Amino acid sequence: MPTRSYIIYDADQPQAVSDLTHFDQRSTGQTLAGGDDWSIDFRKLRGGTSEGVEVVDLCSGPLTVSVLPTRGMGLWRGSIQDEWIGWDSPVWRPVHPQFVNLAARNGLGWLDGFNELLCRCGLSFNGPPGIDEGAKSPIESQLTLHGLIANKPAHSLEVTIDDAGEGRVAVTGVIDEATVFGPQLRLTSTVSVIPGRQEIEIEDTIENLAGSEAELELLYHINVGRPFLGAGSRLCAPVGEIAPRDGRAAEGIDEWDTYLGPTTGYSEQAYFMDLRNNPDRETSVLLANAAGDRGFRVRWSAATLPCFTVWKCTQDEADGYVTGLEPGTNYPNFKSFERDQGRVRRLSPGGGSYTTSISIGICTTTAAVDAERAAIAAIAGDKSPVIHTVPTHPYSPV
């Protein structure tokens, strides 16, 4: 049976909506070579600030990941066997954008909804809040932390079951970040799993629908806690060059790749990196636990996501014990600085587009962890990384 698609909703073609909200081998009649344990469920949350939040649970068999169309197609969290993939944020549940005022808290209101395994920072801007003096107009100059896209809902949502190869089950959402006299950026995001595999793939395309050139900043804030993060966990990355974001990060530069356990009073540290990549322009990092039998691997297209930031936030469990692995078009500095460094992308008018792809793989054996380490070592090669011990231009403003 060929590829089948089902529209969950589409603001532009309401009549085309499917009746199904549970998709599996039985309800779709689709048999996939990778196995028949896959499923997709569409549901809505109830209660508190989660009221009305939509969730799509994509299950490959061994792995399930929950996508949030209401929150910019972010990944809420996943599970594998009996273990969670994600982190325990003080914000316990997915927050409907109606309850997030991005301009509140001195422009840090974004934190009121921050709890995902993966959320996008962008599309017009990311980084800290402030007034961007280099913006085209007042419509674009008032920046709030990490931009708008994580609090925008999809206006169209479609499930696809593709039987090519081992098969693939996917959900695609489309989100507009658009205003009059300002940016008109469209994100089309597909999140998919292959039956039987412990892997999540994200493929995003951003289009500029406006009649003039548009700016793009896009960073994937991928946030990981236990069981991958713990005392003695280690980050394996094919570093070409690394610099601490600020003085606080410089204090820990010698231990940039290892992690503390939950530490009362710990203050966050961030490192900016230029990673090496393979001939296909892909690169990869791995967070492995101390025992070396759990690994969280991220692989992505370095050609379109050349900047990599590591956010270490090994504070008390109660406050959110977490690390961020963050591939981006840019480093999460204030937009005007990134523009000056040439790290703000420009999309041409009338459909200029930008495509990124990210794969998250979960290792649950020592062998799998070792294989990922070997792959990263192959990318890294023999050359020593350049390690800056203090904040360094052009990574940070100094």
Contacts with a second copy by CB under 8 A lie at 9-12, 14, 17, 45-52, 89-93, 97-99, 101-106, 108, 111-112, 114-115, 138-142, 144, 152-157, 175-176, 178-182, 184, 209-212, 264-265, 315-320, 349-350
Q: What is the largest CA-CA distance in the chain?
A: 60
Give which of 152, 131, 154, 150 is closest to 142, Cα–Cα.
131
Q: How far is the CB of 314 from a second copy (least distance, A)?
A: 12
DSSP secondary structure letters along 114-153: ---SEEEEEES--SS-EE-TTSSSHHHHEE-TTBSGGG--
Q: How far is the CB of 51 from a second copy (least distance, A)?
A: 7
Distance between alpha carbon 87 and the CA centroid of its chain, in Å? Answer: 14
Closest to a second copy by CB, 143 vs 369, is 143
Closest to a second copy by CB, 12 vs 280, is 12
Closest to a second copy by CB, 43 vs 281, is 43
Contact 84, 78 (CB under 8 A): yes
Q: How far is the CB of 146 from a second copy (least distance, A)?
A: 12
Q: How far is the CB of 152 from a second copy (least distance, A)?
A: 7
Q: How far is the CB of 186 from a second copy (least distance, A)?
A: 10
Half-sphere exposure of 260 (CA within 13 A, CB side): 18
Closest to a second copy by CB, 201 vs 207, is 207
- Tell me the one-letter amino acid at 318: A
Q: How far is the CB of 389 from a second copy (least distance, A)?
A: 27
Closest to a second copy by CB, 9 vs 334, is 9
Q: At a CB cut-off of 8 Å and minimum separation 6, what does 26 contact?
A: none
Closest to a second copy by CB, 126 vs 301, is 126
Contact 218, 120 (CB under 8 A): yes
Contact 8, 44 (CB under 8 A): no
